[in-house]
Structure 1
Amino acid sequence: MIITTMSLANRLPEEYLEVLSENIDVLFVDEAHHISSKTWSRFREDFSKKRILQFTATPFREDGKKVDGIIIYNFPLRLAQEQQYFQKIEFAPVEEYDDNKSDLSIAKKSIEILDKDIKEGYKHILLVRANNVDRANELYEKIYKKFYEKYNPVLVTSRQKPSENKVSMNALKELESKIVVCVDMFGEGIDIPNLKIAAIHDKYKSLPITLQFIGRFARGSKGLGSAKLITNIANEDISDALKDLYEKDADWSHLLQQKSVNILIGKSLYKTLLKVLIQIV
């Protein structure tokens, strides 16, 4: 049995890959939603004549298509919830149509929930999500560090020195910091169960990442209570992304409260009517 990462495997000379493909019976691929990338697909091609088993919790690619292959087993969200791998997520939307006030509205709602959870004895951490490093810096400096310093907010981005990010991560694990502002630093390999409150200021670039992000907060943890998701449903991009989530897998309605589905559909219609009225005026 050989266990490796795709980045390391792709450094092997071609003759090494030939030896591997000749002597290995089955190739197991974890996080298989990445399989459409050039590096992953090139490596898999060397094993095309062998049995290949692919595993993923996010089976949709960025182009909207499922990961290729024949599905031999599917573990549905509803069953995961029944077996307590996933817990319900309390969706707490804000409705702010002024783009200049959106970020502050999301922050206020998120802190309100964080305060409530702390008073109830939960050691929760708030994760603030931005779509790029500049946005993360902006949210950190102008909102969370400026107004909520008592929670010792930290910034974790790819522009930070590794040593700085390490200090921030340790502060989160030790519960010295209650807020972390980041981009995509909390993907595969990061496990901080106390991250139970998510403030989404910007939508994710793809559905798979959205699925993975929300799924991490929904994971069951003893003594940590339910997860919370805060975002601005007046933001059309985010509203469309969340509706797409329900369309891809209806079981999300059992994780994200049903009320949120009705809100998203209702707000979409409301915004359309609002635009028509503005044009008439």
Structure 2
Amino acid sequence: MSYFKDTTVNIVGNNKLRSPQIEAYIKIQDYFEQNPQGEALVVLPTGTGKSGLISIAPYGTSNGRVLIITPGLVTKESISKTQESLKDNFWINFDVIFGSNNLPVVCEFTPDITDEHLASSNIIYSNIQRVISQYENCLKNRVPHDFFDMVIIDESHHSAASSWEAILGYFNTAKKLHVTGTPFRGDGLPIPGEKIHETPLSEVMRDKFVKYLKKETVNAHHLYFITPEFPDERLTVEQVLRFKDSEWIQKCVALSKECSMDVINHSLIKLKELREISPDVPHKIIAVGCSIQHAEDLQRWYEEAGLKSILIHSNMEKNIQTAKFKAIENHECDVVVSVNMLMEGYDHKYLTILSIFRPYKSLNAFAQVIGRVLRAIPEEEIRAFEIDNNATVIFHEETGLNELWEDFQKEVNRAKTERIKDYTLKELTSDYQRKTQSLAEVDSVAAFISDQDSFLPDIDFNELFESKRQEINSKVKETLRKFTEIQNLDENILKTLEKQLIDQESKKISTDFIDPELLEKRPTVARDQLRKLIKKKTEDEVTNLLSDHGYDPKGLELANSFSRHTSTIKPGIANDGTLVMYINFKLYDKFGSIASRDNATLVKSLKVIPSLIEEVRKMI
């Protein structure tokens, strides 16, 4: 018996989960069904729900215990917050599991944990230092190599390759899943695992799952350098480059107070503008320095400029770090100054302005710091998405970061391109009159790209969960009212009784109603979700392709060339509609009509779309 196989969950048709999470989950299931001891990689941008994906990934896949490994303490706290807090429990709050009685047994590995506790847990999480180390009581030395059926490594490429290789070598029979928000290594080594899914940043920006991004560089001064070689001369950048490399210049600029003040002053202007337009949102600056001493200077300079600042770094005592994190969460500062500690796993959504005061060589490290301002502020808290969820990245022109920014600018440009609207069949075919013999073929296209892509009943398990929970709460409230009429009960006893009654009723409704309904409808819900994902994936990939090549989505130049490949594409069809139709006809040729595809074939259709896009890329 496996908890993760036997527990009935609401994942694939869950409208509280995001489409990248659901698509990645489906691909994880498909991969490990074919590769029970395989090693897979999933890439989800920061702010898209990586911790949530880690929490749902084992369901339907793992035959036993699951180990979740994080690179550091902050990331571990993020995973812990998702899984262990009953008040904010991910599985309950996102309607993955109906009742708390069906939640997994989760524990953090600590050196003093008992073997019995480990054996009885469904999920064990730890930072990598406790899993493998020179100490005798590390996790690797406490359990046999087949103790876990699945090992999930969060951001494994931020740890030394030898560390995770040793871990996976020991748990060699387990399913191995790497999950990351930044698929780049700083040491040039290959990223571990076979990449089975990647959601581009542009897609989640377009969907408003994360903040928009914009870059503003400052270069207010004519830069002059006084070097040890020429102590009596003021040299220009061009003169210095004759005997120093660009990296030397970048470091000088980063550590210069004058250049830093340019960045500070510009960030102050941007924060003031933002707070004037949207005064009710506690927007903050995050400033990243080169070292602790440099960060201390940055904090002082921000304070001198009139902004309350909090400095946090890895050399601080744990209790001091905790107090500072709490102060940040309570909005007791305008600026958060850091070195590297907050660069992984820290999720404060009000960090909207990023001031970078250091050069970066690694795209991975640069992506990590950009990720700190990506997390979107919820719609109910903001004045407008375009105002409050529009992050600004500020750095000095001479710190050499423009080249690293190019990857993000490409995604920003893609995100600005509007996704193809839902064409009706009439719009896609222009004035083309369909013949009787082609109706079946054309209807298969409509199943992808029109509003009629699904003829399945609309089953909303989120609404079902909500209504049943309200029903339980009402019933328990009435029961407690009757109890209090008979006798006076202590408040603590009432709370305990309330929890017991809710658990009892939840278990009954889950067993008698929710679970059978989910099991019965699961294939249908999965089919409907897969069709939606295929449609969305095609639209997103086509939108990005047109952006990359500079085509107007509503231009008409592509229809003529693509009409040679299928008779349904006629002159007058817009570029986005043309490419969507072409992709759908390729899918039709390969897999048949969408109505005839079973769920396994729909998964194959979803997986093949990127390769079809690359084929189209070569054609335009």
Give the TM-score taking structure 2 as reference length. Answer: 0.37
- What is the CA-CA distance between 1:110 and the residue it aligns to? 0.2
Alignment of 1:262-281 (within 5 A): none
What code does the residue aligned with 2:282 have?
A: K
Q: Does 1:68 align with 2:192?
A: yes
2:337 counterpart SS class? strand
1:3 counterpart SS class? strand
Task: Name 2:405's counterpart in structure 1.
Answer: 242
Q: 1:85 to 1:146 in 2, by over 3 A?
A: same
Rounded to whole Å, the distance in 1 between the matches of 2:176 and 2:205 is: 28
- What is the CA-CA distance between 1:213 and the residue it aligns to? 1.9
Residue of 403, 408, 411 corresponding to 1:251:
411
What code does the residue aligned with 1:74 have?
A: E
Deviates more, 1:50-59 or 1:161-170: 161-170
Residue of 22, 42, 57 corresponding to 2:146:
22
The percentage of counterpart residues that share the same residue type is 21
Q: Does 1:124 align with 2:283?
A: yes
Task: Name 1:264's counterpart in structure 2.
Answer: none
CA contact (8 A) 1:91 1:229 kept: yes
- What is the CA-CA distance between 1:162 and the residue it aligns to? 3.9
Q: Which runs of 5+ in 1 are unaligned?
A: 257-281
Task: Name 2:130's counterpart in structure 1.
Answer: 8
Higher helix share: 2
Deviations 1:56-92 (A, max 9, x none): 1111111234412211111121222232222211212
Task: Name 2:155's counterpart in structure 1.
Answer: 31
- What is the CA-CA distance between 1:8 and the residue it aligns to? 2.2
CA contact (8 A) 1:203 1:241 kept: no
CA contact (8 A) 2:309 2:337 kept: yes
Greater CA radius of gyration, 1 or 2? 2
CA contact (8 A) 1:154 1:168 kept: yes
- What is the CA-CA distance between 1:232 and the residue it aligns to? 0.8
- What is the CA-CA distance between 1:155 and the residue it aligns to? 1.6
- What is the CA-CA distance between 1:177 and the residue it aligns to? 0.8
Task: Name 1:213's counterpart in structure 2.
Answer: 369
Q: 1:102 to 1:138 in 2, by over 3 A?
A: same
Rounded to whole Å, the distance in 2 between the matches of 1:164 and 1:4 is: 24
- What is the CA-CA distance between 1:231 and the residue it aligns to? 0.6
CA contact (8 A) 1:93 1:230 kept: yes
CA contact (8 A) 2:206 2:415 kept: no
Q: Does 1:178 align with 2:334?
A: yes
Deviations 1:214-261 (A, max 9, x none): 12312222224311111112223x234334x45xx94254469xxxxx
1:108 counterpart SS class? helix
Deviations 1:167-188 (A, max 9, x none): 4333321112111211112133
Residue of 309, 318, 325 corresponding to 1:169:
325
Q: CA RMSD in A?
A: 2.6
CA contact (8 A) 1:130 1:182 kept: yes
Rounded to whole Å, the distance in 1 between the matches of 2:140 and 2:189 is: 30
CA contact (8 A) 1:94 1:230 kept: yes
Task: Name 2:308's counterpart in structure 1.
Answer: 152
Q: Does 1:57 align with 2:215?
A: no
Q: 1:128 to 1:183 in 2, by over 3 A?
A: same
Rounded to whole Å, the distance in 1 between the matches of 2:415 and 2:363 is: 16
Rounded to whole Å, the distance in 2 between the matches of 1:34 and 1:155 is: 23
- What is the CA-CA distance between 1:13 and the residue it aligns to? 6.3
Deviates more, 1:216-225 or 1:109-118: 216-225
Residue of 109, 123, 126 corresponding to 2:266:
109
CA contact (8 A) 1:92 1:230 kept: yes
CA contact (8 A) 2:292 2:339 kept: yes
1:145 counterpart SS class? helix
Deviations 1:19-50 (A, max 9, x none): 1x224332222223235433222111112343
1:218 counterpart SS class? coil
CA contact (8 A) 1:133 1:158 kept: no
- What is the CA-CA distance between 1:161 and the residue it aligns to? 4.1
Rounded to whole Å, the distance in 1 between the matches of 2:315 and 2:392 is: 28
Give the TM-score taking structure 1 as reference length. Answer: 0.78
Q: Which has the higher contact order (CA 8 A, sep 6+)?
A: 1
CA contact (8 A) 2:212 2:390 kept: yes
Rounded to whole Å, the distance in 1 between the matches of 2:309 and 2:276 is: 19
Task: Name 1:231's counterpart in structure 2.
Answer: 395
Rounded to whole Å, the distance in 1 between the matches of 2:297 and 2:330 is: 25
Rounded to whole Å, the distance in 2 between the matches of 1:80 and 1:179 is: 27
Rounded to whole Å, the distance in 2 between the matches of 1:13 and 1:158 is: 24
| Paired positions, count | 248
CA contact (8 A) 1:117 1:123 kept: no
Deviates more, 1:169-178 or 1:122-131: 169-178
